[in-house]
């Protein structure tokens, strides 16, 4: 018998509801969990935050590369929000897996379990994550079509 054209699991959407208002963008990309958090006080400002896979080092800054004021030696509320949304979008197993969180995996079942295994502050420019975000938003502005797309038969 030939194989199926479909893979069940990889196409399923995560079931938990996302909070896009607070965290418009989150992704697992380039060995990081990274995302963008809208500022509560200034609608022109966003925070750009990431955790690095393996070390769980982290950083948070504004889109203009100013360090986040809430960032001590501990992940700020933006970093926590990004992690929470990553879990909502991808499921905790995939996040733990992608981040290669150290330690006994059976003991890691919540957001706090991951945060408790954090690394240290790692200052890196926000521009790469921010441009990923702008690129993400660009999808909503792209022109679409009324012509047939038979290729979409592969994507359910």
Partner 1 sequence: MAFPGALHQISESNQEIFELIASLDECFITGFANLDEQHLQTLQALERVFTGTPLQSSLSESTQAISTNEFVDKHFAVIATVRAAIQGALFDTLQAQVRSLLGRAAIAEVELKDEAEEPPNNVKVLLASVRHWLMEIALVGYARLDIATLVPFLGTLEQIQAEPLLVRQAALLTGYFNELMRNLPVADSAAIPKYRWVDLWTQAMLGTVRPAILPQSLSISGNLEILGLDLRQHANLVSFTAYGLLNANNQTQLVRVNQSAYKVDAINNEQIWLLFANADILFDAFAQNRVLQIKDVPLLPNGDLLWQGQGELGENYNLIKRAAEFFAENTGHSLIYSTVAASDRHPIQIAEPIYLSNYQVVKNDENIVLSWGDAGELSIAKERISSLSELNLDIIAKSQQIFGLLRFDAGKWSVQPLAVAVKNKITSTGQTAASVIAKKDSIKNSVVGILQERSSRLLRKG
42 is a site residue for partner 1 (CB under 8 A)? no
**Locus of tokens 């935050």:** 49
18 is a site residue for partner 1 (CB under 8 A)? yes
**Locus of tokens 């359910």:** 156
Please select the residue that binds partner 1; options are 11, 65, 116, 120, rule is CB under 8 A: 11
- Spatial distance between the Cα atoms of 98 and 83, rounded to a whole number of angstroms: 12
Please select the residue that binds partner 1; options are 24, 67, 91, 119, rule is CB under 8 A: 24
For 101, the token pair is 């969180």
Please select the residue that binds partner 1; options are 4, 41, 106, 107, rule is CB under 8 A: 4
Residue 121 per-residue DSSP state: B
Out of Zn ion, partner 1, none, what residue 135 binds, judged by CB under 5 to 8 A for its kind, is: partner 1
For 126, the token pair is 């926000």
Instruction: List the x/- string, 44-83, binding to Zn ion by CB under 5 A.
Output: ---x------------x-------x-x-----x-x-----
- Spatial distance between the Cα atoms of 30 and 52, rounded to a whole number of angstroms: 9
* Burial class of residue 85, CB neighbours in 10 A (0-12, 13-18, 19+): buried
Please name which of 89, 72, 77 lies closest in space to residue 33, comparing C-alpha atoms.
89
Q: What is the distance in angstroms between the CA of the first residue and the CA of the last residue of the chain?
A: 22
Instruction: List the x/- string, 68-107, binding to partner 1 by CB under 8 A.
Output: ---------------------x------------------
Name the residues that contact partner 1, by CB under 8 A. Answer: 1-8, 10-13, 18, 20-21, 24, 29, 38, 43-44, 46, 63, 89, 130-131, 133-156
Name the residues that contact Zn ion, by CB under 5 A. Answer: 47, 60, 68, 70, 76, 78
């Amino acid at each position: 018998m030939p194989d199926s054209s479909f893979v069940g699991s990889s196409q399923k959407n995560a079931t938990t509801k996302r909070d896009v208002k607070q965290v418009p963008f989150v992704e697992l990309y380039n060995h990081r969990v990274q995302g963008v958090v809208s500022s509560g006080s200034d609608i022109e400002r966003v925070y750009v935050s990431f955790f690095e896979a393996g070390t769980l080092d982290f950083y948070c800054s504004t889109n203009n590369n100013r360090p986040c004021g809430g960032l001590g030696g501990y992940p700020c509320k933006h970093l926590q929000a990004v992690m929470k949304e990553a879990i909502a979008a991808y499921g905790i197993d995939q996040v733990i897996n992608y981040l290669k969180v150290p330690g006994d995996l059976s003991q890691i079942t919540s957001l706090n379990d991951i945060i408790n295994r954090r690394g240290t502050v790692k200052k890196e420019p926000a521009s790469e994550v921010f441009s990923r975000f702008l690129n993400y938003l660009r999808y909503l502005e792209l022109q679409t079509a009324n012509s047939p797309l038979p290729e979409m038969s592969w994507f359910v």
